[in-house]
Structure 1
Amino acid sequence: MKTGTPSSSIEDYVKVIYSFTEWQDKPITSTQLAQRLGVANSSVSEMVRKLKDQGLVDHKPYSAITLTGDGVRLAVSMVRRHRLIETFLVQELGFRWDEVHDEAELLEHAVSDTFIERMAVKLGNPLRDPHGDPIPAADGSVRMPAAHRMSDLDDGHTGRITRISDDNPELLRYLSAEEIGLDAEVEVLGRRPFGGSLVVRIGSGGTRREFDLAAEVASALWVHSEAAHAGCSVPGR
């Protein structure tokens, strides 16, 4: 890998590649990368060649894109920055969880490493961001919770919401309005016939309510089962 400070574009690319595979094993394709970044496929092809030249990705024509060890380390450092900033914006500045992504995208490239580490101390070194995504430690280790997408759970499964995808701000606003958030208790009751919605019970005690969740909503929620083992710590991943 070449020395020097990587550009913000390079940082964005490796972060998106990492984030795409963080909660699944399937690697990202050039088309998916273009969609997530909102750029043309030709722009992705050019940047991927540059990333490969700098030793940050492995890629062959017409195949998926994967990060090298150096690519993972750069991506994890950017993910740490992004999620700490999101947490700071929510906890200290009163931003809503649907507002922080774009702000963090701007700030993560502008602040120093010293600023980030002092922010982490100020926040008490949090382990997750406002959406439940793990915040990598300063040494690059990442503690992934043992969780499964709600849409994949069997009837009768119980647990707590441990992660909520922040891909769609409108969905986050809907969940806020319905008072569905992290650590809420969940029980899967069943599915409506003919590919219908997922019926779940959310809450505890007298606050338990039933919801018919559309596929997009159920796919955005990740549930930790009390019976599952604890998440493992993976250096640099």
Structure 2
Amino acid sequence: MRAGEVSEVSQDYLKVIWSAQEWGGTPMTATELANRFGTTKANVTEVLKRLDELGLVARVPYKPPVLTSEGEILALSMVRRHRLIETFLVESLGYGWDEVHGEAESLEHAVSDRLIDRIDDFLGRPAVDPHGDPIPGPDGRVESHDASLLLAEATPGSYDVLRVSDADPEVLPHLAEANIVPGSRVEVSDGEDSAVTVVVDGRMHSVRREFATAVYLRRRTPGL
């Protein structure tokens, strides 16, 4: 089954269910899915029933839905579309990294797999999107970052920025101003309850803790 053979709503649910756990998050409950999509729990239940009937989701009473192997394949197909479109918009059309999420949400349903593969080739097969999220390959393989931690929880030391979540696009310009972007190196100092102090490119910045929860890090190996 291909992504185009299920509804756009189903595509969105599969993508969201998979993405929720990608960076160490917990499985999404029906209530959380209702909040995420701005709908009722009853509507979520109906969608999950359809996905279950299609063999894309396994439903267990009183537990979060679980993707089947086929459901995961379709979810990764949608994730691949979304992240390649975001990358194309930034690298080829001059969009800012805080402007692309909504555009990609719309376009990902309209493009064909062939066009996505052409975009991938045109961009030189990028490994990650502008926010540092790994781009699944055509075979569905995707890199894992299980060892990442949040800037808001980091102890003093030297780190690489792996990812900046775009869940709240308004956070992105503030972090970009401090050059806290994927690929940057940051030195974390002792913080306060309301902020985390970091040094980036020799400059000290105080990052509000709610912004710091959007930044995913990997501790640098001493001597590197």
Structure 1 residue 139: deviation in Å? 0.8
Partner of residue 147, structure 1: 148
- Asked whether the equivalents of residues 2 and 55 of structure 1 are also in contact (C-alpha less than 8 Å), the reply is no
Structure 1 residue 42: deviation in Å? 1.8
Equivalent position SS for 2:217: strand
2:39 is aligned with 1:39: yes
Answer with 125-134 or 141-150: which moved more: 141-150
User: Given residue 116 of structure 1, which amino acid in structure 2 is its aligned partner?
Assistant: I
Out of 195, 198, 203, the position equivalent to 2:196 is 198
Q: Which runs of 5+ in 1 are unaligned?
A: 229-237
Q: Residues 148 and 3 of structure 1: is their aligned pair in 2 closer, same or farther, counting only changes over 3 Å?
A: closer
Equivalent position SS for 1:210: strand
- Asked whether the equivalents of residues 86 and 104 of structure 1 are also in contact (C-alpha less than 8 Å), the reply is yes
Q: Where does 1:104-123 land on structure 2 (aligned, <5 Å)?
A: 104-123=104-123
Distance in 2 separating the partners of 1:2 and 1:169:
30
Structure 1 residue 150: deviation in Å? 1.4
2:206 is aligned with 1:212: yes
Partner of residue 227, structure 1: 221
User: Given residue 78 of structure 1, which amino acid in structure 2 is its aligned partner?
Assistant: M
- Asked whether the equivalents of residues 2 and 74 of structure 2 are also in contact (C-alpha less than 8 Å), the reply is no
Partner of residue 97, structure 1: 97
Answer with 75-84 or 3-12: which moved more: 3-12
Distance in 1 separating the partners of 2:3 and 2:18:
21
Structure 1 residue 4: deviation in Å? 7.8
Answer with 39-48 or 117-126: which moved more: 39-48
TM-score when scaled to structure 2? Answer: 0.92
Distance in 2 separating the partners of 1:211 and 1:223:
16
- Asked whether the equivalents of residues 178 and 200 of structure 2 are also in contact (C-alpha less than 8 Å), the reply is no
Distance in 2 separating the partners of 1:81 and 1:128:
12
2:63 is aligned with 1:69: no
Equivalent position SS for 1:172: helix
Distance in 2 separating the partners of 1:34 and 1:198:
33
User: Given residue 210 of structure 1, which amino acid in structure 2 is its aligned partner?
Assistant: M
Distance in 1 separating the partners of 2:191 and 2:2:
52
* Percent of matched pairs sharing the same residue: 43
Q: Which runs of 5+ in 2 are unaligned?
A: none
Distance in 2 separating the partners of 1:87 and 1:2:
23
Structure 1 residue 61: deviation in Å? 2.5
Distance in 1 separating the partners of 2:3 and 2:129:
30
Equivalent position SS for 1:143: coil
TM-score when scaled to structure 1? Answer: 0.87
RMSD (CA atoms): 2.0
> Deviation string for 1:138-183 (max 9, x for gaps)?
11100124422112222x2211111000000110122233333221
Partner of residue 56, structure 1: 56
Distance in 2 separating the partners of 1:223 and 1:65:
29
Distance in 2 separating the partners of 1:215 and 1:45:
35
User: Given residue 74 of structure 1, which amino acid in structure 2 is its aligned partner?
Assistant: L
- Asked whether the equivalents of residues 78 and 108 of structure 1 are also in contact (C-alpha less than 8 Å), the reply is yes
